[in-house]
């Protein structure tokens, strides 16, 4: 499975889907993307590691963008970002799941629930998928820098401040 893999609503279709560039533009720039696609037509961060680089085995640095696989591996990536404490992740808003409670509700600084379901893009060409994500999407912020970026972005969304934010600030 690709590190940037996502569940596809079309059985048998590719599971490698790219973050819509407008999301990166709205909340970036980023220093590192530890799970970028091998065939990504636009940059998500200054440094991008693919499955060939094994981002989980390397030392993370700076402000991180993390769009992990949308399956059982998501928890591992989100836990790693929570430990790093400085970045933004994109995951399905499966708010009731064990891993979401443990790694997001209990550890994140803030959440940005996107209104509507975004359309991801195909690797290589960057073509927008004709179908949406198939699930609600949330951006998770770890650290004050992430909170400021998410609170101040212009994406159609709802911002939620969590523990770790001082009252009155994002």
Query: Is residue 108 a contact partner of residue 155, using CB atoms and an 8 Å limit?
Result: no
pLDDT tens digits for 58-70? 999 999 999 998 7
CB contact at 8 A, 146 and 110: yes
Which two three-digit tokens encode residue 2?
């690709």
Domain, as residue range, for 25: 21-161
- 156-167 per-position pLDDT tens digit: 999 999 965 554
Quick one: CA torsion of 54, 146, 25, 99, rounded to 10 degrees? 50
- Does residue 169 fall inside a structural domain? no
pTM of the model: 0.85
Spatial distance between the Cα atoms of 33 and 40, rounded to a whole number of angstroms: 12
Q: Note the pLDDT tens digit of each residue in 104-122.
A: 999 999 999 999 888 777 7
CA distance 27 to 119: 17
**CATH (domain of 97):** 3.40.50
The verdict on residue 3 lying in a domain is no
């Amino acid at each position: 499975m690709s590190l940037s893999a996502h569940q596809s609503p079309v059985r048998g279709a590719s599971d490698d889907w790219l973050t819509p560039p407008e999301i990166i533009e709205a909340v970036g720039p980023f220093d590192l993307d530890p799970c970028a696609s091998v065939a990504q037509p636009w940059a998500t961060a200054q440094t991008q590691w693919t499955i060939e680089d094994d981002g989980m085995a390397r030392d993370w640095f700076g402000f991180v963008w993390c769009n992990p696989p949308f399956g059982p591996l998501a928890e591992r990536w989100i836990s790693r970002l929570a430990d790093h404490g400085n970045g933004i992740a994109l995951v399905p808003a499966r708010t009731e799941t064990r891993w979401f409670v443990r790694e997001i509700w209990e550890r994140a600084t803030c959440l940005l629930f996107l209104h509507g379901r975004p359309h991801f893009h195909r690797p290589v060409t960057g073509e927008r998928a004709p179908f949406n994500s198939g699930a609600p999407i949330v951006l998770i912020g770890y650290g004050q820098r992430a909170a400021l970026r998410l609170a101040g972005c212009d994406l159609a969304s709802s911002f939620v401040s969590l523990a770790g934010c001082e009252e009155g600030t994002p």
